[in-house]
Amino acid sequence: MKYIFSLLFGFLVGALGAILTLLFLPFSGEPPRTQLSQPDFSLAVSGDAAVTVVSSAAGMPWLSTEPARAVPAAVDGVRSAARVSLAPLADVDQVAYVVRLSSMNNEGKPVFGSLYEQNLWHVIVPGRGGLIVSSQENVWGFARELALPLLRGETWRGDIRYRTTAGPVAGFGRVMGISGEFTDLRGRADLSQGLTRASVAEGLSGTDGVLSVQLDAPEPAVAQTFPGEEEATSVDDL
């Protein structure tokens, strides 16, 4: 009998040791902290109730946030979070509307230090146009900090802040210009997120972030020359 207890005790010690090791020393670290060199604009994206119009996280309680205007009943059956908020542009006296659709995907592996949140940002800059940003965020850094306090039922307080974007384009999010002055433009984006408070009962609080967008220069139009025609090289040729 004592051999069985010894075996079980050893099993628990081994499993716990492995879990703690993976939690704090995963085989791979956080995403590289390279940021966009020259963002065209940055948006302050916050979960603060003051700028949130609607927020819902049905099926994703670990992503719920504090605004009282959540409408969880309206999104029953969807394991995805939606938030509509105002996002001031940095250095410009302008405010954008941001529709953010988020869901966790199963491509992350905690053993490699990855836990992915898929984000779709529908960014509306009034008077300028619309953009869609898709990004994959590695939120493992948050999960690692919050796991033990939340499992113990405690309220976590602190200040975690890091660049979370891990893809889908070589560590950056993908930007697609949809309308207005952004029509057909492409580019990259990255997101830095912060968190200051979390509990099982209240969800995440004090969430904020900066979404930076860098647009590529439009590709120059290629002059077409048809058979029998020669391209004009000077005004005199015209």
Partner 1 sequence: MKISFFIGIIAGIGTALWLAFSAPFVAQDRVRSETRVQTNGGRLESFSVRLADDVVATLPGSLNVDTPVAPTEARWLAELAPFAGVANVYRLRNESGTVIGLASRVRGVATEDDVEWVLHVPARGTLMLRGVSVDIADIGDISGGIREFAALAGNWEAQFDGETWRINTVTLAGGDQ
Q: Minimum CB separation from partner 1 for residue 188, in Å?
A: 14
| 228 phi, psi to nearest 5 deg | 90, -10
Cβ closer to partner 1: 49 or 200?
49
Polymer length in residues for the chain: 238
Size of site (CB under 8 A) for partner 1: 69
CB 128 within 8 A of CB 89: no
One DSSP character per residue, 176-226 reads EE-SGGGTT-EEEEEEEEEEEEEETTTEEES-EEEEEEEEPPPPPPPPP--
Residues 27-46 that bind partner 1 (CB under 8 A): none
> What is the x/- site pattern for partner 1, positions 56-95, by CB under 8 A?
x-----------xx-x--xxxxxxx-x-x-x-------xx
Ranges of beta strands (E only) in 32-109 are 41-46, 52-56, 81-88, 95-104
Write the CB contacts of 227 (distance below 8 Å, at least 6 apart in sequence).
none
Cβ closer to partner 1: 93 or 159?
93
- Helix H or strand E encompassing 130: strand 129-138
Residues 114-173 that bind partner 1 (CB under 8 A): 115, 118, 120, 122, 124, 126-130, 132, 134, 168
Q: Which residues bind partner 1 (CB under 8 A)?
A: 2-4, 6-19, 22, 51, 53-54, 56, 68-69, 71, 74-80, 82, 84, 86, 94-97, 99, 101, 103-106, 108-111, 115, 118, 120, 122, 124, 126-130, 132, 134, 168, 174, 176, 178-181, 183
